[in-house]
Amino acid sequence: MADPAKPAGLQALLDASADGTVLTIRRPLEREGPIAVRRGVTLAGGGRAAVWSRQSPVVTIHAANAGLTDIRVEYTGDDPDGCALHLLNADVALANVTVRGNVLGVRGESGPWRYPHQLYLGKLVPDTDVEFVLRLMTPVPCRLKSEIDGLTVEPATLPAGRHGVRIHVEGLRRDTLIFGVIALETPGLRREVVVNGHAVPLGGPPVPVFPAGHVIWQPADWAELAPPSVKSLPVRPPTAGPALPAGPSPPAVPAPVAVPKPKLRPGGAILGSAFGIAPPPPPVSPDPAEQPPPAPPPPPDPSKKKAAVISPLFGGPPPPPPST
């Protein structure tokens, strides 16, 4: 078994290895790509190693009978459609591979993914449950799993399309940190959302309280990612309803105050906070598909068929009718 931690470099070892060789990455555990696998070699990471690059694709596999196992492949560039893994041969074995970025040539995996690589929940009110909505796009069905105690995600399985995922955080003690991973898993690959947040300590600054269902993140191109079922609906002209009696004019509505638009990282993250951690985004218009159905109206009360007649003066009863 060869060790790629040599001066020849990872690419040189891949090119010099015979078919059937297993190359295990040891120290250093992070290797800069891009790399190409042109022989039937298996590149193993031991569950800790990663190959990364700002160029796309990070790893390209040309050969049959090649493989990746127990390794991370991360595209770290600025293109939201940057590719982490490109297979030019279908006969490639993948086992316990975590990717950051899109993939090409992987059966049942190709397509644009839109999800945050890092998700900052902000400063949270202690001992108070909170619920957020995370909007994301998955081109194929996947499983969603929280690996953080006290944080749950719903639903646990997603079909292909765009989704509003509910994130529920149980009340935290004061000065408690959240740090962990929400995993998106398909049969062949794994993707991760790194989550962090902080329940403020006693005597800390005021914390904004967000309503349930506050959208914590969505892709910058969310409006263009409408599900096919929605895009295919025909547009019908409005129909005229019954005429309504004229009433008083509604009161004037004050003009809205202009709010500066936040700068967006590629993929939707917001810039501007200390240490490169993004604050929660401003409220986003709710998606009707993410809202619970309205409650049905109560049945009519037969005892109240007629409305009471009120005198126009002082709100008293009407005068009796004149006697004949």
Q: For 284-303, how does the pLDDT look when each residue is reduced to its tens digit (9 = 90+)?
A: 555 655 655 556 666 665 55
Domain boundaries, the chain: 10-104, 118-219
Q: What is the pLDDT of residues 85-102, one digit of tens each?
A: 999 987 899 999 999 999
Distance separating alpha carbons of residues 158 and 160, to the nearest angstrom: 7
Token output for 43: 């590149």
Q: What is the pLDDT of residues 200-244, one digit of tens each?
A: 876 767 777 778 789 999 998 888 875 543 333 333 333 333 333
| DSSP secondary structure letters along 51-99 | EEESSS-SEEE-STTEEEEEEEEEE-SS-TT-EEEEESSS-EEEEEEEE
- The pLDDT of residue 284 is 58
pLDDT digits (tens, 9 = 90+) for 15-47: 999 999 999 998 889 999 999 999 999 999 998
Burial class (CB in 10 A: 0-12, 13-18, 19+), 130: buried
Give the C-alpha separation, 82 to 193, whole Å: 17
> Given 2.40.128.20, 1.10.10.10, 2.60.40.10, 3.60.15.10, which CATH number is that of 118-219?
2.60.40.10
pLDDT attached to residue 111 = 82
